[in-house]
Amino acid sequence: MVGANGQLGSEINVLSPLYPQYEFVFLSEANLSILDFDAVRSVFKVTKPDYLINCAAYTAVDKAEADREIALKVNAEAVSYIAVLCEEYKTGFIHISTDYVFDGNASVPYKPDDITNPQSVYGDTKLAGERLAFRNNPSTILIRTAWVYSEFGHNFVKTMIRLMKEREEIKVVNDQVGTPTYAADLADAIMKIISSEKWVPGIYHFSNAGIISWYDFALAIKEETGSNCRVLPVPTSQYPTSAKRPAFSVLDTSKISVTYSLQITNWRGSLLKCLKRLTTLLPQHED
């Protein structure tokens, strides 16, 4: 796996002892930059992997607006090369993409075959990566996800917990709706796909179930953590960012659920699981 230190990579690492039939190789950016094509080829030559899960990405959505070149390199050019190697070594390529490939103007959940129309540099570079992955390796399994959080790295849940401790009042946008994805649930889905030994190439969508706004998500975090901080809903216009966010980001997860017999769990239960792990099992990971 590449990008092993990110949210998703770390959750797959946590899960890996449950799959003793596989020998995992976790490569973080410090061990292997996916921009170093020679090094990536050497890893394939030495390990001849049965599967490669690409958890590496340039994910700084706002920064990407001014940093298109590097975002394109990580999210598209490197993906293209990994796809070539996966094809050459007959390696099952699992690549991760994003709801930001859509424009967010829909009113029903996005299906994998719906028309893409990214509104940000990040979304644009991820879409370029999707296309190159399939062009070079038609057997790719590509999973788009959204609103990812976990006990690792930086994310909305950890930021809210910190801000709710520091401030008496916070404002959160209530006109962007979507579904959170607990990275541990996505990691579980990926491992179930691999261990099913049923390889059905194509685009899939994965998130938890339910539809909420960021404000609803913040309120749930406040309730579950017992915070006294006031949480106020605001429109996106009051929270300007460099990159445009889709107003509607709900993904239709039925294809992955049917193809791989996956139970898609509700976002609230998964939030609880993550909060529990943050406060009890892994206090050192608090933001």
State the binding string over 12-51 for ligand NAP (x if CB under 6 A, else -).
Answer: -----------------x---xxx----------------
Closest separation between CB of residue 82 and ligand NAP, Å? Answer: 10
If the CB atoms of residues 74 and 170 are measured against ligand NAP, the closer one turns out to be 74
**Is residue 278 a contact partner of residue 285, using CB atoms and an 8 Å limit?**
yes
221 binds ligand NAP (CB under 6 A): no
Closest separation between CB of residue 56 and ligand NAP, Å? Answer: 3
Out of 100, 122, 204, 215, pick the active-site residue.
Answer: 122
CA pair distance 99, 27, nearest whole angstrom: 25
| 122 classed as catalytic | yes
Within 131-170, the residues that bind ligand NAP by CB under 6 A are 145-148, 153
**Is residue 206 a contact partner of residue 191, using CB atoms and an 8 Å limit?**
no
State the binding string over 48-77 for ligand NAP (x if CB under 6 A, else -).
Answer: -------xxxxx--------------x---
Binding site for ligand NAP (CB under 6 A): 2-3, 5-8, 29, 33-35, 55-59, 74, 96, 98-99, 126, 145-148, 153
For the annotated catalytic residues, the residue numbers are 122
